[in-house]
Chains A and B, each alone.
Chain A
């Protein structure tokens, strides 16, 4: 065939490198509704659920049993299950029905009922739902802080810059797992230098992650994964009871924690049992609720290529975020993995979460260029900062971050690198040179950093654990090195762990250590004129509108 010139050019567009496939329900390649999904049902006898979504109690697998025993508000279950799903869906966007009144219905739904309610909504209606059902009044955001060689000095500088930019949480992980203690330590020091009150985690295997938290080297945890089918769950090397116990282990050490799940994970693991992604995710959400965790990170996450390959994929992703909120859980809404070659599609990936507003719009946003993102690259990275600021300014809508001045970034990066230099010296870790501090101050990518002795760092990281180093030692090193403000911030973080206010749903801290959670700063959106509005928040609005790129009309040369 002779090629038509326009079609030839279209074929070369980035979007056409994205892979999309036909629905294939038997293998779980269906976003919102599979012919194999069960119909919603519930039967309650003597306060016990004896039938759920077409299955009798004796046939329940562990996930069904756990959800039936702990996840569903049984008192309201029969009434809610008898209510038309479209009626419940309408409550989500009806300004006359409050957040609290919607919860009376939605927390009593079985997984199939939750799925059925979400299926009533189009994308715009889901945005309306998120506006009301998000737990915290004011949206926030989370960043990834990593680099390809686990350079601790650059981690501290990037953590400080991200904190200054407004991220309420920072998540690091490792290129090499043995580096975990150093990564946790570097982001601890960097985040508290950038802005006291920022929370941070180190995403590694379950036991190490808990251990780092117990030592005060991290302040929250998130990568506690759950799955929607029994075989996937077992392959993930846990059961609902072990995950529920792990949730309590974290709380027992005063560490904030949320679970992680996401559509497409069961497909990737090979055990979707022919069910839709939304139905399986509804089970994950209810499992999380049953475990008594305060929140959940969902929205397909690292499996995002699966739902976005099928029709209604990104509608499903926002739908599962909304369903999480409908079960009264904090929602950290993904947009954390690159999936598309198209800038337009990449932007639309987060538009629902951005315009609706969620507890953490991204989980997370790359606070380094994508080649240095050891989570395999985020949907958004440092080079998108200004685009995001322009979008916030255009729509008057919070992304949880704001523009900063170059000189402020330089100052805070230097201070974080110097603080870490002092901590390394105080703890007897391999020295950080002045040259490294200077390089981290001005660095963009890991190639900008002088090489460190990786073997010595790895040994020292292990030795640090062997010696039982905790946050108290870090504070002491900072006081000895006369960096009292950072020491004070890390001490305040430890004191907050003693009190536990930030274990409540959707909790973050401001820079004065005032906690903002669903308990004291709950979402009061109920239609036009209510709820959090960026353009009505003078301090934040100024940070978004008064940015270096703006031309002042007074300076026009007429």
Chain B
């Protein structure tokens, strides 16, 4: 186990300085998809039916990401990632297919696209049993809401804080 722990610790340490960590809310305005449009089963697969409107986080169209672009360093290492907009579209598809819990997961995920990798891993670790006090969980909820506009995930942390307290999973409860 110590091997794994060392590796994780080193990865976390390195990610802090790594250019693979996404740099926060830097989504280009060109990525925005009109909010009121509802996608559904008929729009799926989006890659075949809506490739034109899906963008990378920096705003590149998928057809503008070619081997030639990569060879000539025109594609950033961290740019081949899903955006909140694409996740919302996939959420629409899942909901239309009758899978509400999958849609809820994609809604949470859409909020998390803005959070850097290292911070996201820390947040996950804080939710594990006996790791955090109630205040620490509520403080992350506050950060999610104010820094990342992640209201669903903030509520997730608040709900966890409530139940961790009554079901004894907070720091010191062990």
Q: How far is the CA of A178 from the CA of B77 in the complex (A)?
A: 23
Q: What chain A residues lie within 8 Å of B98 (beta carbons)?
A: 100, 103, 328
Against A, the Cβ 8 Å flags (1 = close, 0 = not) of B79-120 are: 111110011011001100111011111101111110101001
Measured CB to CB, the residues of B under 8 A from A are 3-4, 7-8, 10-12, 14-15, 18-20, 41, 44-48, 51, 54, 56, 62, 65-67, 70-71, 75-83, 86-87, 89-90, 93-94, 97-99, 101-106, 108-113, 115, 117, 120-121, 123-125, 127-129, 153, 156, 159-160, 163-164, 167, 169
A204 touches B (CB below 8 Å):
yes
Q: How far is the CA of A215 from the CA of B76 in the complex (A)?
A: 12
List 15 interface pairs A-B (beta carbons < 8 Å), by A numbering.
Answer: A177-B3, A204-B4, A205-B4, A208-B7, A241-B164, A242-B128, A244-B105, A251-B109, A252-B82, A254-B82, A294-B99, A495-B62, A500-B87, A501-B46, A520-B41
Instruction: Give the contact-size bracket for chain A.
Output: 35 or more
Q: Is the CB of A253 within 8 A of B127?
A: no
The one of B54, B123, B129 that contacts A245, using a Cβ cutoff of 8 Å: B123
Q: How far is the CB of B11 from chain A (nearest CB, A)?
A: 5
The one of B109, B121, B164 that contacts A211, using a Cβ cutoff of 8 Å: B121
A71 touches B (CB below 8 Å):
yes
Interface residues of chain A: helix, strand, loop or mixed (majority): helix
Q: Is the CB of B7 within 8 A of A177?
A: yes
Q: Is the CB of A241 within 8 A of B105?
A: no
Q: How far is the CB of B168 from chain A (nearest CB, A)?
A: 10
A291 touches B (CB below 8 Å):
yes
The one of A211, A215, A466, A491 that contacts B70, using a Cβ cutoff of 8 Å: A491
Q: How far is the CA of A503 from the CA of B121 in the complex (A)?
A: 20
Residue of B nearest to A230 (CB): B167
Q: Is the CB of A472 within 8 A of B129?
A: no
Interface residues of A in 58-101 (CB under 8 A from B): 61-62, 65, 70-71, 100
- A113-121, A332-340, A428-436, A479-487: which lies at the interface: A479-487
Q: Is the CB of B101 within 8 A of A503?
A: no
Known pairs A465-B14, A498-B56, A519-B93 / 11 extra A-B pairs, C-beta < 8 Å: A65-B163, A239-B128, A241-B156, A242-B128, A328-B99, A470-B80, A472-B80, A473-B77, A484-B67, A499-B54, A505-B99
Q: How far is the CB of B150 from chain A (nearest CB, A)?
A: 10
Q: How far is the CA of A100 from the CA of B98 in the complex (A)?
A: 9
Q: Is the CB of A289 within 8 A of B87?
A: no
Q: How far is the CB of A529 from chain B (nearest CB, A)?
A: 25
Tell me whether A498 and B67 are in contact in the complex, defined as CB-CB below 8 angstroms, given that A180-B7, A248-B153 are known contacts.
no
Q: How far is the CA of A168 from the CA of B7 in the complex (A)?
A: 29
Tell me whether A211 and B117 are in contact in the complex, defined as CB-CB below 8 angstroms, given that A500-B86, A504-B90 are known contacts.
yes
The one of B10, B103, B153, B160 that contacts A292, using a Cβ cutoff of 8 Å: B103
A139 touches B (CB below 8 Å):
no
Measured CB to CB, the residues of A under 8 A from B are 61-62, 65, 70-71, 100, 103, 176-178, 180, 204-208, 210-211, 214-216, 230, 234, 237-239, 241-242, 244-254, 289-294, 328, 462, 465-466, 468, 470-473, 475-476, 479-480, 484, 487-488, 491, 494-501, 503-505, 513-515, 518-520
Q: What chain A residues lie within 8 Å of B117 (beta carbons)?
A: 211, 214
Residue of B nearest to A499 (CB): B47
Q: Is the CB of A254 within 8 A of B81?
A: yes
Q: Is the CB of B10 within 8 A of A470?
A: no
Q: What chain A residues lie within 8 Å of B56 (beta carbons)?
A: 498
Q: How far is the CA of A487 from the CA of B113 in the complex (A)?
A: 26
Q: Is the CB of A520 within 8 A of B45?
A: yes
Q: How far is the CB of B160 from chain A (nearest CB, A)?
A: 4
